[in-house]
């Protein structure tokens, strides 16, 4: 099967042979566009950056609305795994020794101007547009934050605590669940061909 992975660090390639994305690559053709620390906007851009017709299944790892798009993260843009990382409100509101002037400005924005309701509304609009684009595709959505909402047709883990790079055991469980769902998608595809 040809598989596309889009999302945040939950689906990113951490060069860990035991992570679920790398286990999938052993049996399938996988294009992995997921990146560490990206906002839902950048995940939406991943989905739109490639010809979806070439994929049998798309695995989508949506992130949290508390990640706010930034063109360049003031500190992490030089880090290979995090070069497209966005601003995460929880990281910014905590006083940290690595703060520079730009991050202090972001801290002020989150304290005085950021609107949680607006963030959720924008997040829902982006997810709805992703769903519209993907509505005729076999999609496996991985929801790894408890409070996320949305149209979750096929959920591997309704709640999963942490990204794929934290536990080889959990990664294997996710891989096994995805493999089951891929088998079902293949059956559906074969039924539609008859």
Lowest mean pLDDT of 21-25, 99-103, 117-121, name the range.
99-103
DSSP letter at 16 equals -
5-16 pLDDT tens trace: 999 988 888 777
CB atoms within 10 A of CB 174: 24
- Write the DSSP string, 93-150: HS--TT--HHHHHHHHHHHHT--HHHHHHHHHHHHHHHHHHHTTSEEEEE--STT--S
Residue 187 has pLDDT above 80, yes or no: no
Q: Which positions ≥6 away from 53 have C-beta within 8 Å? A: none
Segment 41-67 mean pLDDT: 94
> Mean pLDDT over all residues of the chain?
81
Give the pLDDT of residue 166: 58
pLDDT tens per residue across span 72-87: 887 777 777 788 888 8
pTM (two decimals): 0.84
């Amino acid at each position: 099967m040809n598989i596309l992975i889009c999302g945040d660090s939950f689906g990113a390639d951490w060069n860990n042979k035991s992570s679920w994305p790398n286990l999938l690559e052993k049996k399938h053709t996988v294009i992995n566009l997921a990146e560490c620390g990206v906002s839902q906007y950048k995940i939406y851009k991943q989905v739109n950056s490639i010809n979806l017709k070439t994929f049998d299944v798309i695995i989508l790892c949506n992130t949290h609305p508390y990640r706010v798009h930034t063109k360049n993260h003031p500190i992490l843009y030089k880090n290979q795994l995090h070069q497209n990382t966005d601003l995460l409100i929880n990281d910014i509101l905590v006083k940290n020794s690595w703060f520079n002037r730009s991050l202090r400005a972001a801290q002020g924005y989150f304290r005085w101007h950021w609107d949680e309701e607006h963030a959720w509304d924008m997040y829902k609009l982006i997810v709805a547009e992703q769903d519209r684009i993907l509505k005729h595709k076999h999609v496996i959505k991985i929801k790894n934050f408890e409070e996320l909402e949305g149209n979750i047709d096929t959920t591997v883990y309704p709640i999963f605590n942490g990204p794929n790079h934290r536990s080889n055991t959990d990664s294997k469980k996710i891989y096994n669940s995805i493999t089951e769902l891929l088998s079902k998608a293949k059956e559906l595809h074969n039924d539609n061909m008859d």
